[in-house]
Each structure stands twice: as structure tokens, then as C-alpha cells.
Structure 1
């Protein structure tokens, strides 16, 4: 099945020579612009946000980026990009052993990503296990990737997934819509099982299952490590010296207050217990990593105060 090429560099608004740091910066800029929580047109913004995440999933990973760049001349082949050498198409064995082509919709990933960068079950050449009934075989399980936003992982949601099956010999098609429940607290790499939506069984054997592997969408402000969240927080010098309270909005919209102790230093890490992944029995934590930013320009009045502080301060960081 030919698929439409996705220009990930164009989606992020960067050139092919961009460094990994520039890729990350471009993603954060675009993700903040199109994040559904802040955009006026939430439906179109959500679609754009997922496209940006897909681009960052590939270009933000050095190995995937090299693979993407290596596609080279295959990008603009007539009819779309060709499957990679050695197969890689989306097939499973249907009744009688013939291969059936399939494609997903609503997972957050394009067919192009599924074809080249998914780690799911890409091709099968037979049935699953034997069933109890003589001559019957259970249908094979199939796998796909499911992009889950941090907000969905915090609050839980239900996603409608479409799956289209095509017999490559006859062109016959069938399609179905599947409701997939995303439980709150789910994490990267976990699999959601949808019973009975895999390949068809044979001779009265039961159908296989569909497994959707969770791929956490990158977030412009939070990073996910296991069940913990990490967030960078920039402070003004006086906030770090005197201490303050900062309001942090968690994924899902809840705001919490973080107390910044007086004397907080750059690269300090503050832990907020229980504000990571909202698992029932063992929720993760939120780690706030501090940096101190200095103003690039000051007014004459502000400069006078800084000069006065320099005169009266006994602090010398080079003596510590």
C-alpha cells in the first residue's frame, strides 16, 4: 500500500540542517501554539498538535531521524512512498491464509509513520494458535501505536479508532469503528487490549485481538520519566533569593501551588509528591528543576537599585 509522504521538517518549520537542540526548540514553540488547551479552534488545533508530535517523535530521536533522512529518493515516488526493503506493509493473514491489508484512523499517527516507524506487528504469514475445535485456528493478534496526550493520561478518556481492511487481490474493503478506553494513569509503552478486533479466525476459531501500544505525546512544558513528571521553571533572581509561591498548572487543568524556599539555587530540584501520574495505588511525583534568569535590559531606576545592592551585599559566590 502506497502511503503519502510526511515532510516532518516542514511541519516543524525548520531546515534539514537543524541541530537536535533546534528541533526541540521548534517543537516546543509549535506545540504551545497549537496545544488544544490554549487554541481557540480546539478540533483543528488537536489535529495539528498530533502532526507536530509525530514529527518530533521522528526528528527528535537521532536514530529515527537518520532512518527518515535515508529514505532519500523514495520520498517522491509516484503514488507515494514505497515500503522499506524487506516488507514492512500492514498485513495479517485472513481466512484461507490470504493476506489482508489494514490501516488505522484516529490513533494520532499517520499511515506514513505506521509504515516506517511503528514497532507493531507489521506482517503475518499464518494464523494464530489452534483452537479446541478440530481444524480451527484462532486469528492472529495485530498491533498498532496509539498517541496519548499527557492530558488524556491524567484524566482518562475514550478514543474512537477506525480500522479499514482491504483484500489486496480483490480490492474488497470493510471498516469498523472501535471505542477504546484510555484509563487515567496509563504510561509509555503500555498496551491496551481490544478483544476480538484482530485477524479473523478460521474454521470456527475465535478472532484475534487488537493491541494498541501507548506512545506518550511530547508536551511543551512537561517531560515524562516512568510515572514521574519533570518541569523546568525559571525564576527571577529576587524570587530565588527571597522565596515565593508559584502556581503550576498540571496536565488536565488542575493548578497547584509550589513554595520556592528562600535561597533556592539554579539547578536545584524541588519534589512535589503525588503530582505525577495519577495512579490509584502509587501516584508518581512532579520534579521541578530550577533555573535563574537575569534580565537582559534594565531601566535607569532598576540599574540604580542593582548598583546599590552590589555596594551593600557581602555575598561573593567565588568564595563559596
Structure 2
């Protein structure tokens, strides 16, 4: 039976680089490995082909010969079909089967288990007022975090005792097993179940933490909130998260801000908007009004004939830029109010005004709105 093309076996093109060849091999070797497919002859055959293809294509010299002459470049005496030396692939299998055999063929996985381990990060939400966001403030917050046990100092061992070398793995953190496969003996490594890969065991656990070496503590922290923050702004506090293990650094604390709504002001970036009511007489005659701002009331002169919905700007009365010294502006929208109740005298005065203005307040406008529109657009 003719052999399949090595590129076809690995599912790659002929111009695939070393990284692509290795990646394809890892994926397929994991899929068809005999340990993961017991009593599956088809998987064994596929694994044999994958192994053979990779040994050729991963070697630049062999690959060049194969690209030029195909399978004729090699004969059976070179060992194809009889199984390759698995020691040549220790680094690859260590990556592939690390999840299954607890660290595989290298020492890096055990180093990760027994070496320093960083603590996890924490996140909290903090509500602040509109003014606190605009001007900045200082807040005290409470958090619950994991710290090393204050009694055993994180060792997990009872005070006056210490951890012992694991009697099962003798400190290695893993145990080795040897399996016979159609390709010869295959050594695999599994995480030690006695010490869970640490290499040490606690014979007399700490009474305070039960041997975990950890305890949950409530802490009070002070946080400086800069001027200009807004909802969804995040303030990081480095090293204030859960504590690390075996001398590892602590995680970070991330404070997510939520700015409460204001009864007068609305925010648009670093600008502030508000709406102020003025009487129709003030709008008609003009004059001085008081306008509320974040920094207090200011006086503003409005011109005669101010129309409803008019917007005017108060420069630099907005919010400070979070990343600079500039400030936004305040925009004021005018809302003209009409009194709901009038005295008899006020009514007579308004009628006099209407008459002087060319209107008769006691009669219907016979011309109507559309009649006035027609006149307005006459040539």
C-alpha cells in the first residue's frame, strides 16, 4: 500500500514553516495518542503516520530530500514505520500531555506549583456624588481579601512544626509510570496525589487556618479620587488584592466608579448642562439673573427678548480635565415660565399690554395661525 503524503497527513501546505509543522503535529498527536484512545487500532495507525511525517518534516535536511524525491528518499532501514524514539519528542509531549499527566516531561510545571504564586486581583464598585467626581475627593473603603495566616505565616503548619518532604514523591511533586505501547515503552508523569504536586506535606496543620496557610481579612483602605473622573472610571490600587503564595506578590484592587445623578446638572464629557427658569417679563425686558454652577452662583445679564430654549455658555465653569489642567464649560438652557394664576390687576395690565402690542386678549384671533403665515410669506 502506497504511503500517504506527509504534508497531507499533518494537514499543512508544502510552504508551512517550522512553527506550523510543530503546531499541526501537536494537535494531531494529542488527538490520536494511544493513551487517549485505548484499543483503537485506527488511532494507533494515525499516530504512527503522524509521528513518521513529523520526524521527516521537522528535520530541514530530511525535509529537503523528501521535497525533492518523495518517499523514495528514505528506506525502511532508517526506522520509519517501526516507531520513533520518544525521547526526541520530550519537549513536545511535555506540552501536549501536561494537562493529562500533571507536568509531563519538563521541570517547569513543578516549578509553577512549588514556586512563588501571585495573588488574584479584586474588583469593587464605589458610588460617588457628582461634585466628588468634579472636584476629586478622598474615600475610605472596606474590602475582604485573602491574606497569609497570621499564626503560621502562610506555611500551613502548626506553630513550632514545619512541612515535611512528601513520602510518596520524595519532594518531586510527581510520580512516574511506565506503559507499554505498540511503539515501545512510554513513560508518563502524573501529579502526586499525596501532596498535590507541591512536594511537601503538612503533618500537623495550623489550628487557625486548617493547614491552608490563608485567612480572609476585612481591611479598610483610603483612596484618592482625582478630579474629572466619571462613571466607569477605574482606579487601580497596586498590591491591595489577594495575597500571593510562597512569597509571590499580591494581586491588585480595581475600584470601578459610579457617579450619582445631580438634581440640577447633567454631564457631557467635561462640559456641564443645566436648565434655568426665568419669567416671561424678565425674558422680554432682559436684566440680571443668578445662575447656579458647581462653584456657586454667578450673575449673568440676559438681553431683551430672550427666547425659550436659548442656550448660553459660561466659559470654564465645567469639570476639570482628568489628564490636564483645562476645564470644560457650562451650558445654560433657558426655560420661560408662565404664571398659572394672576390677580385681577395683573390680568388688566396684561390686557393693556396686549392692546398696546396690537392684540385683543378678549377676542379670538380671526385670522388665525395659517392666516398670519400666509401674510408672512407674501412678497
The answer on 1:196 being equivalent to 2:176 is no
**2:291, 2:298 within 8 Å by CA — same for their partners in 1?**
yes
Q: Which runs of 5+ in 1 are unaligned?
A: 1-130
Question: Does residue 335 of structure 2 align to residue 291 of structure 1?
Answer: yes
Are residues 132 and 271 of structure 1, via their aligned partners in 2, closer, same or farther at CA, if it must alter by over 3 Å? farther
Deviation at 1:165, TM superposition (A): 4.1
Higher mean C-alpha displacement, 132-141 vs 277-286: 132-141
Kept in 2: contact 1:196–1:209 (CA 8 A): yes
| Residue 136 of structure 1 pairs with residue 116 of structure 2 | yes
Deviates more, 1:302-311 or 1:184-193: 184-193
Q: Report the equivalent of 1:273.
A: 315
Q: Segments of 4+ in structure 1 off by > 3 A?
A: 131-134, 169-173, 314-320
CA contact 1:243–1:263 (8 Å) conserved in 2: yes
TM-score normalised according to structure 1 size: 0.52
Distance 1:199 1:259, change over 3 A: farther
Corresponding position of 1:184:
227
- Work out which of the two has the higher radius of gyration on C-alpha atoms and give 1 or 2: 2
Superposed displacement of residue 260, structure 1: 2.1
2: distance between equivalents of 1:286 and 1:267?
A: 15
Partner-residue secondary structure (3-state), 2:217: strand
CA distance change for structure 1 residues 193 and 166 in 2, over 3 Å: closer, same or farther?
Answer: closer
Cα 1:304–1:188 change in 2 (3 A) is: same
Using the size of structure 2 for normalisation, the TM-score is 0.45
CA shift digits 1:162-211 (9 cap, x unpaired): 113489x9896411110011112222221112221112223322111111
5 Å-filtered alignment, 1:1-320, equals: 135-165=115-145, 173-251=216-294, 253-279=295-321, 280-314=324-358
Report if aligned partners of 1:246, 1:258 keep a CA contact under 8 Å in 2: yes
> How far has the Cα of 1:301 moved from its partner?
1.1
Looking at structure 1, the residues matched to 334 and 263 of structure 2 have their Cα atoms a distance apart, in angstroms, of 16
Secondary structure in 2 aligned to 1:295?
coil
Aligned residue number for residue 88 of structure 2: none
SS at match of 2:352: helix
- Please say if residues 188 and 226 of structure 1, whose CA atoms lie closer than 8 Å, have aligned partners that are also in contact: no
Any stretches of 5+ residues in structure 2 without a counterpart?
1-110, 148-208, 360-367
The number of residues matched between the two structures is 188
- Rounded to whole Å, the distance in 1 between the matches of 2:303 and 2:336 is 14
Structure 1 counterpart of 2:5: none
Kept in 1: contact 2:145–2:241 (CA 8 A): no
TM-aligned CA deviation for residue 241 of structure 1: 1.4
Q: Distance in 2 between matches of 1:133 and 1:250?
A: 58
Q: Distance in 1 between matches of 2:112 and 2:283?
A: 69
Alpha-carbon deviations, 1:249-300, whole Å to 9, x = none? 323x522223322222111211112111023522111111111110000111
Q: Please report the RMSD computed on the Cα atoms of aligned residues, expressed in angstroms.
A: 3.1
Is this contact kept in 1: 2:146–2:243, CA < 8 A? no
Deviation at 1:225, TM superposition (A): 1.7
Q: Distance in 2 between matches of 1:213 and 1:313?
A: 59
**Contact 2:315-2:328 at 8 Å conserved across structures:** yes
